[in-house]
Amino acid sequence: MTKQTALRVGVDIGGTFTDIVTIQDGTLSVTKTSSTPLAPEKGVITGLKKARERDGFSFDTISFFGHGTTVATNAILEEEWAETALVTTAGFRDALEIGRQARPDIYDFQAEKPVPIVERDRRFEVLERLDERGNVLIPLNEHSVHSVAEQLQTARIDSVAICLLFAFENDAHEQQVCDRLRDAGVEASWSLSSEVLPEIREYERTLITAMNAALKPVMDQYIGNLETETTAIGIETDLKIMQSNGGIIDASAARNQPVNTLLSGPAAGVQGATTIADRCGFSDVITMDMGGTSCDVSLVEGGDPLITTDVTVGEYPVSIPMIDIHTIGAGGGSIAWLDAGGALRVGPQSASADPGPICYGRGGTRATVTDAQLLLGRLHPDNFLSGELPVETDEVAHIVERDLAEPMGQSIEEVAQGILDVANATMQRALRVVSVERGHDPREFALVAFGGAGPLHACKLARELDIPRVIIPRTAGVLSALGLLTSDVLYDYSTSRVRRLTTVDPTALQETFEEFEAAGFDRLTQEALAEDQMRFERALDLRYLGQSFELSVPVPDGSLDDESLASVAEQFHEQHRQRYGHAYPEEPIELVTLRLRARGLVDSLDLAGGSVDSTLDDARRDTRKVIYGGKPHETSVYDQSLLPFECTFEGPAIVEGVESTAVIPPDHHVSVDTDGNLLVEVPDV
């Protein structure tokens, strides 16, 4: 028997479904299976076996296995982290509780701050002190370290975070504390701030270091379980994990710094959307990933997702480089309910994968956005997820009438439309956050809609925001999994050096960048990447003297000198003007942080689906009544797999795919490109 060629696999675990994408010999195949929240790896194995049975491949032919995970995110949101201790400089034990001066709600005197990652009785102090340049003011006191070691040995902890003052300038004391505690017999996993986040701002640095420590045992167990399960079925290649910054790292790096995976799944979606948009000829897009429990929106400018260090996960500020993603609790499983005043609300509570929406027939008893789509004709019971789920239309109508329509004095259809209107309003606000509120005009962007539910809502949202075009990828329902196969390998390096830019020695900056580049080179080499696949991208975080927040400005390649730093300063002024509407070239600029991104380029994938030997009439399944804006319209229903490439058609239309359904309202024009993606022209824009 002829041995099969290498196979690439991407796996993304969502709140409702686990998605599998495989590519072999240019053929792309997708698989969707229910997620298993209590043991996520079980859903992965089920999906892989399902894909193998359908496509006939062998697990030992897998050459790349990429994974987007929500394990770290869920652990933070649900406060299910490991027993963790924190070691700090004397006097800084309570940094986690003090946090920032700003209250969660300035007018609510009863507002509570987030639960500290580490409880106070597990926070310990050592006597030592560095100044703001890393010079030793008070040497490390060995007796204080010994005292901490004795307390840790009886504290029943799994992980230790070490965060000492100004360790980003000089990490010697942190390394010494770690070595002394290990030598004293303290058994735990270790996280040092000088390795996790060597940057300014004590609260954020302490929080991230403690968070990383608290997640380490959780991620280690999950990755260990997944690797055990995949090895057992014959997968021999190493597991790769998606980071929040949109890059792939190996499993060992994810185990060591799990805090870098907090937005793993959503980041993969943005990467997939960026790839599809580029193939469609668009470099400026807004991405919208609507799944079963949430909707993630982001902005891509010039072909690059925007990166930020100002992201909140749950109630915690996470100051590590991440794709700028705004997440809201609006998904297909978002539950519709009436508040105390009888007003209709949708979400953020979700029916999730278990029991799911009523129409899944798994015991769900509360109406969701997906149920509303079914009642309005956008989803058809016979074609719902390729007929794999039992669809209980009568049960949906009965519960909506009993729980919502009768109390509101409206018809079932009016309530269903109301559910969609409320959900759309929530998503519209999210789209404005990443565009209008950040100085971008939505009219200059295209909207890439994906996820199982994104294409159902995209055209309506685009019209409300004056977005002229909507791109619905052929693999919209599993685009996050596809993004895992198109993402580069990325490693980020940084350190804070707070100085006036005019006093900075360019040679010192050059030396630091070269150290970062050497570390990145070694890391990429370990990932079997050739030198011609490596790219090193430098940047400086700058701000006007006296400001609290900074902007990241690219630094040109080559040796740095006074002239190149002056050019960087000019870029900062222009970037500040674009972001905030004003700039002050006469004001002094302060350097805050140096950054380098080591990028390993992956081979491009052939995403074209080949030709489709059918006509538009062949693809038309039937026509049915679908309600848009409260009015019924006879609507053509198309089978996505039979739509011929480079054909065109008009709305209203429903396009039913294997893993997602697209709604094309009246007056919208659709063209199918050579990859099978839908390009929708939105009217009145």
- State what percent of residues in the chain have pLDDT above 90: 67
Q: Which has the minimum average pLDDT: 249-253, 515-519, 628-632? A: 628-632
Over the stretch 493-506, which tens digit does the pLDDT of each residue have?
Answer: 999 999 999 999 99
Which pLDDT belongs to residue 100? Answer: 82
- State what percent of residues in the chain have pLDDT above 70: 96
Q: Which has the minimum average pLDDT: 76-80, 102-106, 230-234? A: 102-106
Q: Which residues contact 661 (CB under 8 A, 6 or more apart)?
A: 378, 379, 455, 456, 654, 655
Whether the pLDDT of residue 448 is over 60: the answer is: yes
Kindly report the three-state secondary structure assignment for every residue of 26-76.
CEEEEEEEECCCCCHHHHHHHHHHHHHHHHCCCHHHEEEEEEECCHHHHHH
Q: What is the dihedral of CA 198, 203, 209, 213, to 10 degrees?
A: 180
Which pLDDT belongs to residue 2? Answer: 38
Q: Average pLDDT, stretch 27-45?
A: 86
According to DSSP, residue 258 is labeled: G
Question: What are the C-alpha distances in Å from 559 to residues 67, 358, 507, 626?
Answer: 38, 62, 8, 63
Cβ-count burial of 154 within 10 angstroms (0-12 exposed, 13-18 middle, 19+ buried)?
exposed
Radius of gyration, alpha carbons of the chain? 26
Which pLDDT belongs to residue 271? Answer: 93
- For residues 161 and 258, give the distance between their C-alpha atoms in angstroms, rounded to a whole number: 13
Cβ-count burial of 78 within 10 angstroms (0-12 exposed, 13-18 middle, 19+ buried)?
exposed
Which pLDDT belongs to residue 91? Answer: 94
Q: Average pLDDT, stretch 239-258?
A: 93
Nearest to 223 by CA among 521, 480, 11, 484: 11
Cα end-to-end span (Å), the chain: 57
For the residues of 76-91, what is the DSSP string, one character each?
A: HHTT----EEEEEETT
Nearest to 283 by CA among 291, 292, 293, 273: 273
Which pLDDT belongs to residue 602? Answer: 85
Residue bearing tokens 């500290």: 116
Residue bearing tokens 């929240």: 37
Which pLDDT belongs to residue 79? Answer: 84
Which pLDDT belongs to residue 383? Answer: 63
Whether the pLDDT of residue 4 is over 50: the answer is: no
Over the stretch 378-406, which tens digit does the pLDDT of each residue have?
Answer: 988 776 654 555 667 888 999 999 999 99
Which pLDDT belongs to residue 1? Answer: 33
Which pLDDT belongs to residue 75? Answer: 86
Which pLDDT belongs to residue 353? Answer: 67
Question: What are the C-alpha distances in Å from 482 to residues 249, 452, 681?
Answer: 16, 14, 25
Q: What share of the chain is helix, strand, coil (3-state, %, to 5)?
A: 35, 30, 35
Q: What is the pTM of this model?
A: 0.86
- For residues 629 and 371, give the distance between their C-alpha atoms in angstroms, rounded to a whole number: 17
Q: Average pLDDT, stretch 104-112?
A: 76
Q: Average pLDDT, stretch 272-290?
A: 94
Q: Please, what is the average pLDDT of the chain?
A: 90
- Contact in structure between 192 and 164 (CB atoms under 8 Å): no
Residue bearing tokens 């679908």: 626
- For residues 109 and 104, give the distance between their C-alpha atoms in angstroms, rounded to a whole number: 10
